[in-house]
A = this chain, B = another copy of it.
Amino acid sequence: MTSTLTRTVRVGILGFGTVGSGAYRMLQDNRDAILRRVGVPFEVTKIGIRDTAKPRQLPAEMFTTDLTSIVDDPAIEVVLELIGGVDPAAELVERALRNGKHVVTANKELIAKHGARLISLAKSKGLDLHYEAAVGGGIPLVQPLKHQLAGNDVLKMMGILNGTTNYILTKMQREGADFADVLAEAQAKGYAEADPTNDVDGFDTMYKISVLASIAFHKHLPVEGVYREGIRGVSLLDMQYADALGYTIKFLAIVDAIAEDTILARVHPTLIPKTHPLASVNDVYNALYLHGDFVGDLMFSGRGAGSDPTASAVVGDLLDVGRNIAGGGSGSAIPFDEEPLKTCPIDDLRTAFYLRLVVQDRPKVLGIIATEFGEHDVSLAAMEMKTLDESRGEIVFLTHPCLEKNFRELLVGLKQSGVVEEVCSSIRVVS
């Protein structure tokens, strides 16, 4: 089955933006080293783009706007899908597979929404469908979960999976700046998109945790099964209170195994103790913390986005495809079941909370509030109080772990108590 015949692996690239051009550059820059390591040369024969007017560093004949012609090209053996989004990516990837081509993609949305089907298709045709770059950029996460950790029952995953939001939160924390100002600056510098929804409202993180959980639990986690809250509501004031309490606010994706084939998956800003390894993952860095029944605690961190790190992952996948082709092996796609994972609603979560209220500053107020907490079975771990003006005070609470449902009802109770002027913020706490 092994073959020492050296022949060129022909590659077509769909998309030549941040990632596509990075992958191309890596294949050029490290050409000789890659040939020595893998034993086969790679040649990019065609690149699909949308806008022919954009200046490119390569001869015009390398490019086409007819992406279908690339996935139909009989000379191309591997397609790198680096355009993003579902439409037309899903159709192109499916067509490439049906045409017998291996596929490498960096597209988390595609895998989160259509991965189960597409990976099964790849497997059924003996092809590779790799997507290491879809989560964590250059950090090896996807393949280690599929391979080296596959014997474990994964009990917990917590990740900082979006570079833009981690950059924003880090900058707010370091510079004492407000969310809106930091976002505007990040947009001006090109670190954040003009429409930041995908990042700051947590869609990107949701796609990524869907991908990771689908691998770890071997069944598809539909994005609808992920509870999602973005970071727009994180205020500088809450960051400062958190800091004083010994916590940092990070935008986390968290998955807990609840029972056999049942998980609770959520994406939201979170207070984590400063001593937690995730607390010192700053700027555009990403990280995944994982607990498996045998492996115990693991942490991976590194550059979760950007042209070069993402190219590293795409090219790593491509080299595996090349080795496989050269070795005459069959594809190594590892599908997860299309049958969805069971998910618990967020109401069932047991978690500690950080809560900030503005209250009336008059006798008995604290007693009334304390009674509400007691009635909803929420007990307090810490409290800090401050006078705002002659009639109002600000109170910050840290609760012990409680049922999310109870905490929500507590908030309703507090609002109706007549003594709470405003429920300013409530943020879940990892203790």
Contact = CB atoms under 8 A, between A and B. Distances in A.
Contact of A294 (B38, B138, B153, B218): B138
A318 to B, nearest CB: 8
Given A144-B143, A329-B329, A330-B329, A295 B312 contact: yes
B298 A299 contact: no
A37 interface: yes
A106 to B, nearest CB: 13
A314 B317 CA distance: 23
A323 interface: yes
A151 B319 contact: yes
A16 to B, nearest CB: 17
A319 B1 contact: no
A330 B332 contact: no
B329 A334 contact: no
A151 B36 CA distance: 11
A297 interface: yes
Contact of A312 (B151, B280, B306): B151
Contacts of A144: 140, 143-144, 148
A123 B2 contact: yes
Contacts of A391: none
Given A1-B126, A329-B330, A26 B316 contact: no
Interface in A312-328: 312-313, 315-320, 323, 327-328
Interface string A151-190: 1110000000000000000000000000000000000000
Contact of A148 (B149, B308, B316, B328): B316
24 contacts: A1-B329, A1-B330, A30-B294, A34-B151, A37-B150, A37-B218, A38-B150, A138-B292, A138-B296, A140-B144, A149-B312, A150-B315, A150-B320, A151-B311, A151-B315, A152-B312, A293-B308, A294-B309, A295-B302, A296-B303, A298-B302, A323-B332, A328-B330, A329-B330
